[in-house]
Structure 1
Amino acid sequence: MLIYGRNPVTEALREGRVEEVLLAHGVEEAFARQLRALAEQAGVQVRQAPRIELDQLAGTTAHQGVLAEAEELSWSAPQAIWDLAEQRGEAPLLVLLDGITDPRNFGAIVRSAEVLGAHGVVVEERRSAPLSAVVAKTAAGATAHLPLVQVKNLPRFIEEIKAQNVWVYGAAGEAAQPLERTDLSGPVALVVGSEGDGLRRLVRERCDGLVSIPVRGQVQSLNASVAAGILIYEAARRR
């Protein structure tokens, strides 16, 4: 697959997933030197090209002057989440996405989850944006460090993790229970639904509780990625 953006390409080089790098003419020398050093360590060729060539290949001008041909992003096995939590000596913190089909929202949530210390992001096979260059770019390299898991049935997966003593809380604007009064200190999964429809009925019914983020303005809803970031931060802060 083609990936673009400085952080995604840099992380892919460090992970050994890159086959070739294209660097636009005119990119500042400090970044070019850093990129070439990483590419040399990985045994990868760096080819300079006109910026318009990168525009055409990426289908956007937002590539930050670098593009790479890399191995496809792949989903992790669910066990990777538990392994990461055990490796860190922490109670598992999962982020479950129900119907996040916008790749930029998906990527932004992955970035927040990785930065704030979650152990994995879980999506349902038919109700999620696919792993793509846009997701990788928006996630700013976080896809290389965080387990991303795809399951066939999210409600069933919720039942499975509840059996492992994970408390599951769904985000719902109308919920009476505010986020700050919710115990997020132990093993927790936070469920975020789509902006248009929120959580599906089957997902809501399987949550241990629904929580809301208090808002003060006239607009009564948050962007899904922003809401996810607040939820993850609050859970991380309690730890």
Structure 2
Amino acid sequence: MNCSGFLVSLSGEKFQVAAKAQKSSLIVGAAAIIDALQHGKALDKIYVDVKLVGAELSVLRKLATELAVPLNYVPAQKLNTFNIEGHGGCIAQIAKVQYQNLQDIISFVVDQGQTPLFLILDGITDIRNIGGIARTAWCCGVNAIIIPDKGVGALNDDAILTSAGALEKIPVCRVNSLMKAVDELHLNGVTVFASEMTASKNIADCDFSAPAAIVMGSEEKGVYPALLKICDERISIPMKNNFESLNVSVATGMILYEVMKQRSA
């Protein structure tokens, strides 16, 4: 399902080399960024000088929070690596994908008579994994991928290339809290399954025929404990030989194909 008709509108992350960003993909200056946000322009992230103050910054911060756009406070020298004059302490990167509103997607899927299937990515930073996951999700009929506004790999040109274009087809919902997203899914009657290596429930023993969402965590840390706690089921993939973990992209594919198999039957 392609819902491209919909439109909605870090601190602490490692700063990516700004020089790689093409000037055509940037918006420069607080006023221009505020205008873009107010007119529904999808932004990937906003970089702000740590020493910047003023009324415009307050407006920018409020809009970024409302629209779940990551706001990164960085030293002035980092902004200068964009090699753009007159930025006034603010530079934004235009998003490569159009982020969607989760409730709009849920309502659209239900109105189409489909059984909702969502994929939640928690702490997955490797864009190659994200690209591989997006390809499988699109092939398996996932209605949308849900990501947090912080702690996830950038959906940039490399991610889109790795996904073979799937990230331009499948709706992506960016939220400021995955826990709130799970609450919203629950309110819409969606059962949330969390993938956990040590879970006792085998994916083959789960009922994926009803509305469902699958949470996938990083290979290093798994699903965030507080998020894991509010999920309905913890599920695992059976393995012939004991091993530390499966690659998250491979694991996601195995779970989604189990879902697709059950729903096809």
Counterpart position of 1:232: 256
> How many residues are paired up?
172
Shift of 1:84: 5.1
User: Aligned partner of 1:150: which letter?
Assistant: R
User: Aligned partner of 1:128: which letter?
Assistant: V
Distance 1:92 1:204, change over 3 A: same
Counterpart position of 1:126: 150
Distance 1:193 1:71, change over 3 A: closer
Runs of 4+ in 1 over 3 A off after TM superposition: none
* Superposition map of 1:35-54 within 5 A: none
User: Aligned partner of 1:223: which letter?
Assistant: N
User: Aligned partner of 1:194: which letter?
Assistant: S
Distance 1:229 1:158, change over 3 A: same
Counterpart position of 1:82: 106
Shift of 1:176: 0.7
Q: What 5-or-longer segments of structure 1 have no aligned partner?
A: 3-69
2:135 pairs with one of 79, 89, 111: 111
Distance 1:95 1:223, change over 3 A: same
TM-score (norm 1): 0.68
| Same amino acid, percent of matched pairs | 31
Counterpart position of 1:162: 186
Q: In 1, distance between residues paired with 2:158 and 2:230?
A: 31
* Cα root mean square deviation, aligned: 1.8
- On the 8 A contact 1:80/1:147 being kept in 2, the answer is no
Q: In 2, distance between residues paired with 1:88 and 1:107?
A: 27
TM-score (norm 2): 0.61
Deviations 1:164-220 (A, max 9, x none): 110000000100111110111010000000000001111100100100000112424
Q: What 5-or-longer segments of structure 2 have no aligned partner?
A: 1-20, 23-93
Q: In 2, distance between residues paired with 1:192 and 1:119?
A: 16
Q: In 2, distance between residues paired with 1:112 and 1:87?
A: 24
- On the 8 A contact 2:95/2:156 being kept in 1, the answer is no
- 1:212 matched to 2:236? The reply is yes
